[in-house]
Amino acid sequence: MNFIIISGESGAGKSQAKKVFEDYGYYCVDNLPPSLIPSFVDLLEQSAERIENIALVIDVRGGKFFKDLEDNLEGLKQRGYTYKIFYFEAGEDVILKRFKEARRTHPLDPSGRLENAIRTEKEILSALREQADFVINTSHTTQAQLKAEITKGLDITERDHPLTITFLSFGFKKGLPLDADFVFDVRFLPNPFYIESLRGLTGECDAVQEYVMHFEESKHYFDLLVNLLDFAVPQFAREGRSQLIVAIGCTGGQHRSVTFVNRLAETFRARGYAAEAAHREIKSGSVPC
């Protein structure tokens, strides 16, 4: 098991950092008292499910338990486990502004002055900061830049964890998919529903796909979608997105949208993306071809 210790100043972006580690497949535990690290490791060792990468968010919210951190990290080493410390900080004025905007109280002094609490926290954490493998200042970083900094610290690349594209077919008569990033309409294309031999089939069947893609307007529209996504997808990846949902809708979600989704997923898998096809209105294997 490999451990990441996420720590640093309150308001410096540890919660956002935790989301990045979760995107990279880390099992994350927030606000774990350091004294419970040995017990937590015992549970992991006894678990039937093997968890390789763990990220622990540990900071001054642990109160008096926080001082036990160094001893318990040494205990991890003695048990043969490696760990890296990611320390997050920001300028005093930036942290002060974040607390004011969020209307939050500081964990060290909920009823006192923010300035004093921020400075006291920096003093308490100074020794841990010196031990950190990576110190990341989030004063002026975007979420994408934060992800890039963490990625460098983990010595991985975006190619190791590419953006996942889900192409989703649906029927407009049953409503829009609320989680879609893009929604495209193919209801203007010729409808296989009006061909008796195709009506009972779906876009999973070759006969339906051949019919839908036989028309020039289908081919042209498909090429336009591919060109648009060829441009847009890398931009989303650059901004730190880990998933993109592209929804294609027709009237019932059975023929045209399914055809386009399957073809798009196949096209973008060939381009090296982690692309999958999903069909909201049909059950897998429910209609034989």
Lowest mean pLDDT among 86-90, 234-238, 239-243: 239-243
In this structure, are residues 259 and 203 in contact, taking their beta carbons and an 8 Å threshold?
yes
Band the pLDDT of 231: cuts 50, 70, 90. very high
Band the pLDDT of 68: cuts 50, 70, 90. confident
Query: Which residue type does 42 have?
Result: D
Nearby residues of 48 by Cβ (< 8 Å), 6 or more positions away: none
Tell me the pLDDT of the chain averaged across its residues: 90
Whether 266 has a pLDDT exceeding 70, the answer reads: yes
Band the pLDDT of 135: cuts 50, 70, 90. very high
pLDDT tens digits, 50-63? 889 999 999 888 66
In this structure, are residues 173 and 182 in contact, taking their beta carbons and an 8 Å threshold?
no
Structure token digits, residue 174: 């049953």
Whether 145 has a pLDDT exceeding 90, the answer reads: no
pLDDT given for residue 55 in this prediction: 95
Whether 36 has a pLDDT exceeding 60, the answer reads: yes
**What residue has token string 């069909």?**
279
Cβ neighbours, 10 Å, residue 69: 23
How many Å apart are CA 172 and CA 213, to the nearest integer? 20
Whether 134 has a pLDDT exceeding 70, the answer reads: yes
pLDDT given for residue 244 in this prediction: 95
Intra-chain end-to-end CA distance of the chain, in Å: 46
Band the pLDDT of 114: cuts 50, 70, 90. confident
pLDDT given for residue 237 in this prediction: 82
Domains and CATH numbers, the chain: 2-154 (3.40.50.300), 164-279 (no CATH)
Whether 87 has a pLDDT exceeding 90, the answer reads: yes
Band the pLDDT of 65: cuts 50, 70, 90. low
In this structure, are residues 16 and 8 in contact, taking their beta carbons and an 8 Å threshold?
no
Q: What angle do CA 166, 167, 168 make, to 5 degrees?
A: 105
Whether 5 has a pLDDT exceeding 70, the answer reads: yes
pLDDT given for residue 240 in this prediction: 72
Structure token digits, residue 278: 């999903």
How many Å apart are CA 62 and CA 55, to the nearest integer? 16
Strands 53-57 and 274-279, bridge-based pairing: unpaired
pLDDT given for residue 23 in this prediction: 86
Q: What would the 3-class secondary structure string for the chain be?
A: CEEEEEEECCCCCHHHHHHHHHHCCCEEEECCCHHHHHHHHHHHHHCCCCCCEEEEECCHHHHHHHHHHHHHHHHHHHCCCEEEEEEEECCHHHHHHHHHHHCCCCCCCCCCCHHHHHHHHHHHHHHHHHHCCEEEECCCCCHHHHHHHHHHHHCCCCCCCCCEEEEEEEEHHHCCCCCCCEEEECCCCCCHHHCHHHHCCCCCCHHHHHHHCCCHHHHHHHHHHHHHHHHHHHHHHHCCCCEEEEEEEECCCCCHHHHHHHHHHHHHHHCCCEEEEEECCCCCCCCCC
Q: Tell me the average pLDDT across 21-34.
A: 90
Q: Tell me the average pLDDT across 147-163.
A: 72
**Measuring CA to CA, how many Å separate 207 from each of 200, 213, 221, 288?**
11, 10, 20, 12
CA 283 to chain centre: 27
Lowest mean pLDDT among 26-40, 157-171, 219-233: 157-171
Whether 159 has a pLDDT exceeding 70, the answer reads: no
Whether 158 has a pLDDT exceeding 80, the answer reads: no
Closest C-alpha among 253, 260, 277 to residue 221: 260
Does the pTM exceed 0.85?
A: no
Structure token digits, residue 110: 């909920």
pLDDT tens digits, 186-205? 999 999 999 999 999 999 99
In this structure, are residues 138 and 12 in contact, taking their beta carbons and an 8 Å threshold?
yes
Structure token digits, residue 138: 């989030």
Percentage of residues of the chain with pLDDT beyond 90 = 61
